[in-house]
Amino acid sequence: MSDVVELKASVRERVGKGAARAERREGLVPAVIYGDNKAPEAITLPYKEIYKQLHTGQFLSTVFEIDVNGKKSQVLARDCQVHPVKDFPMHVDFLRIGKGTKVSVSVAVQFLNEDTCPGLKKGGALNVVRHELELTCAPNAIPDVIEVDLGDVDIGASIHISDVTLPEGVTSTITDRDFTVATIASSGPTEKDDAEGEGDEEESGEEAASE
């Protein structure tokens, strides 16, 4: 799993749109910590730190330890509002992690052994259906990536979630179907297609001769 990332925060004395705009002008991002049967906490965090974490590609699956004036809470970011034009973070919602908490997170899929994959070596193409998987696990068990081995996958094969080895304690959030993660698709006519095509040509020639 990823290391816990520490963030320093301050209590937000005022709430509302006007106060939030003033905080952003000062280089701060308004945020709230909620959950675990505790009262919500309105806080602010340094803009530069949130911007950096937001662009790691793992912002919503990283465990943060937020220090608010010496009081520390472990949290997960559940939502980040981004400016529609300027693309900077405007507000973040953090969920407290309590004892026994299970969370649902999106984790990137990484494909291994593409260079030795039989299907790709035959000219097939890797068709990625899901670049990320929705997983349920304890916050301290969130994997960095889910690896899918293509070393034995031939052309025409489909890789389903049941074919993927998940870490201990990690399960798929989707449980009602064995969904497809990726396929090795043919990028051109197969030998069977070529043989059928030649057969069609022979039949056409025979028909023309009989006429």
CATH number, domain of 61, equals: 2.40.240.10
Final residue of a structural domain among 101, 136, 153 = 101
Looking at the whole model, is its pTM more than 0.75?
no
Identify residue 117 by its one-letter amino acid code: C
Looking at the structure, tell me whether residues 153 and 170 fall in a common domain: yes
Residue pLDDT, tens place only, 18-35: 888 888 889 999 999 999
CB 103 within 8 A of CB 139: yes
Q: In which domain, by residue range, is 108 found?
A: 104-192
19 and 82 in a single domain? The answer is yes
- What would the pLDDT profile of 91-107 be if each residue is shown by its tens digit? 999 999 988 888 899 99
Say yes or no: 121 and 178 in one domain: yes
pLDDT, one tens digit per residue, over 132-165 is 999 999 988 899 899 999 999 999 999 999 999 9
Reported as type and span, the H/E element at residue 191 is helix 191-210
Structure-block tokens of residue 206: 């025979």
CATH (domain of 149): 2.170.120.20
Looking only at the bridges linking them, the beta strands covering 103-112 and 125-128 are unpaired
Mean pLDDT score across all residues of the chain: 87
- Give the span between the Cα atoms of 148 and 94, in whole angstroms: 30
Number of domains making up the chain: 2
Q: What is the DSSP letter of 26?
A: T
